[in-house]
Amino acid sequence: MVKMAKIVLTTDETLTSTYHNVPLLDFFGCAPYDKIPKWVFRFLDSQIPDKNGVLTQAPYGLRKIEAALLRCYPREDVVVAHPRKVEMFLDENTEIVGLYEMDPFGLGPVTMMFTNGGQWKSYTYVKFRELVEKINSVRERKGLKFKIVVGGPGAWQVDMRKEEREELKIDHVVMGEAEHVICKIFEDIINGSADETIIIRKGPKIEEIPTIVAPSYKGLVEVMRGCGRGCRFCEPNLRVARYMPLEKIEKEIRVNINAGIDHAWLHSEDIFLYKVEDKKNFYPNAEAVIELFEMARQYTKNVNPTHGTVAGALAVPGMIEEISRIVEAGDTHWVGIQVGLETADPEIIGRLMNNKMKPFSPEEWPWVVLNGTYVLNKNYWFPAYTTILGLPGDNDDAEIMTARLIITMEKELEEKLGNRAHFTVTPLAFVPMGVLKGEQFYKVEEMITYGQFLHLYYAWKHLAKEIVRGLPKVMWGNLFLVPLFPLARFGIRVVLKQIEKWGKKKGFEVKKLDPLDVKIDVDEHVWGTKPSLAEAY
């Protein structure tokens, strides 16, 4: 018999699908639901198992809130429910249903790019509404009094869309890091004294952040919070950088390993800034980063970072070499990492992201990206870069420079590394966050310029090449992917043709671009030291 709980936590189904463990397919939630056959969504969806309605794994942020609530509620009062079975736990005892959301209304940078600036409905939007409507149906049918509370990184979207929030009868929105105050917030919500929008201005100290008590999705563990580089468009940069002690990280890895999850995803905004001591030039604390990977490797060979900077990799190439040795990276075991490239233009980098390239200078940025990618590829790291269309102060020269950098990287890396040269570039739509909240959302259909079109085209053209060349490396050991290989090759070519046709309708012709005049010369320098501009060029 299912025991009802006072606090029911859940999330939408896009965050509980494993997508058959296909790398990067987690972003499928950003796809336009009304433009893709529905069978595709059903085919790719594979949900995390539940045990009597309780999630056996859950998104990491949800696990943090669960652990924080267990400081003030007994275990039987808090449940993390599978979204498909959440109604099992709702009755007159329920006081709060908390929803953890990443992209509830499809306003995130990836989604805005894939949904034509939000003109189409994303899969995340459809599944979020479906979940809230189901919960509301139970509440109304049974005459229940519980409150619906939305939190998580995407809570700002619900707060922004006031009318839709009211239509969905969402009672409260919580924005900010909440572990240290969630007990008080929930107490206020239950007794009726809480504001409808609750903004948490100050984040928790390290000792106030609880250790997860149940398995996180895909074995994700947080190694640091915040970044410190200060990119003006980036929300996490508004947080003070804090570093989790190794013992705390190790405890969370054990929770996942003991549950049978043979993976440790080390989450941060920049893995190479873990315990950084040089806050002026952001030169990595290589010893601390290596120690982190050594600790995680004691539990599993499958140790991956989530995010990092190419400048950090280039600053200490020996650190990348050593991590690759620790995790036994090689032809059949690549280390994936998401990296923000944003733009190739040194002026925009210097104006909006003046710490992103450190310990190098803005003028060196194209050289840093090219040579940093070489260091990563040489050591079997596969960077998935993101760029941004529509940055404030953007211009066509900057956009064409980004397209030319993609061409340069492809050419130079293949000449140096042959089949070991791998990277992707995914252009995203600018979303006004961080200190740029007052700027305008980028809508690709309305705002695209010729330079942006070339940037978009050459990024997708390289992606097509990677799918043909690099997909077999990703496919290794995943039988589900084998029948998708020819489909993916065909599909990416169709997409490329559609981009060309769309460009022609806009009056844009694809033209051949020359590579930038930058070369791979990192091997000519002493590894782990910063070259001067004169040496770099």
List per-residue pLDDT tens for the chain, 537 residues long. 456 789 999 999 999 998 887 766 787 888 889 888 899 889 889 999 999 999 999 999 999 999 999 999 999 999 999 999 999 999 999 999 999 999 999 988 788 888 877 888 999 999 999 999 999 999 999 999 999 999 999 999 999 999 999 999 999 999 999 999 999 999 999 999 999 999 999 999 999 999 999 999 999 999 999 887 766 555 555 667 899 999 999 999 999 999 999 999 999 999 999 999 998 999 999 999 999 999 999 999 999 999 999 999 999 999 999 999 999 999 889 999 999 999 999 999 999 988 899 999 999 999 999 999 999 999 999 999 999 998 888 899 999 999 999 999 999 999 999 999 999 999 988 776 554 555 677 777 788 899 999 999 999 999 988 887 766 655 555 555 555 555 566 566 777 888 888 888 889 999 999 999 999 998 654 444 444 333 332
Q: For 402-425, give the secondary structure using H, E and C.
A: HHHHHHHHHHHHHHHHHHHCCCEE
Tell me the CA distances in angstroms from 209 to 152, 157, 292, 293, 422, one per residue in order.
15, 25, 19, 22, 37
Residues 311 and 384 in one domain: yes
Residues 169 and 84 in one domain: yes
Residues 405 and 261 in one domain: yes
Distance CA 23, CA 265 (A): 13
Q: Of 134, 166, 199, which residue is a domain's last?
A: 199
Specify if 29 maps to a domain: yes
Distance CA 351, CA 353 (A): 6
Residues 361 and 479 in one domain: yes
The range of the structural domain enclosing residue 491 comes to: 215-536
Residues 265 and 177 in one domain: no
Specify if 1 maps to a domain: no
Domain count, the chain: 2
Residues 473 and 430 in one domain: yes
213: DSSP letter: S
Residues 131 and 237 in one domain: no
Specify if 204 maps to a domain: no
Specify if 206 maps to a domain: no
Residues 270 and 346 in one domain: yes
Decide if 17 contacts 47 (C-beta within 8 A).
Answer: yes
Residues 233 and 346 in one domain: yes
Specify if 487 maps to a domain: yes
Specify if 2 maps to a domain: no
Q: Of 199, 230, 259, which residue is a domain's last?
A: 199
Residues 191 and 227 in one domain: no
Residues 238 and 362 in one domain: yes
Residues 355 and 384 in one domain: yes
What is the arrangement of strands in the sheet containing 172-175, beginning at the earlier edge strand? 78-80, 7-11, 96-100, 147-151, 172-175, 197-199
Specify if 179 maps to a domain: yes
Specify if 208 maps to a domain: no
Decide if 380 contacts 330 (C-beta within 8 A).
Answer: yes
CATH of the domain at 422: 3.80.30.20
Q: Of 199, 225, 250, which residue is a domain's last?
A: 199
CATH of the domain at 81: 3.40.50
Query: What secondary structure does DSSP assign to 19-74, as a single string?
Result: GGG-TTGGGGGGSBTTTS-HHHHHHH--BPPEETTEESSB-HHHHHHHHHHTTTS-
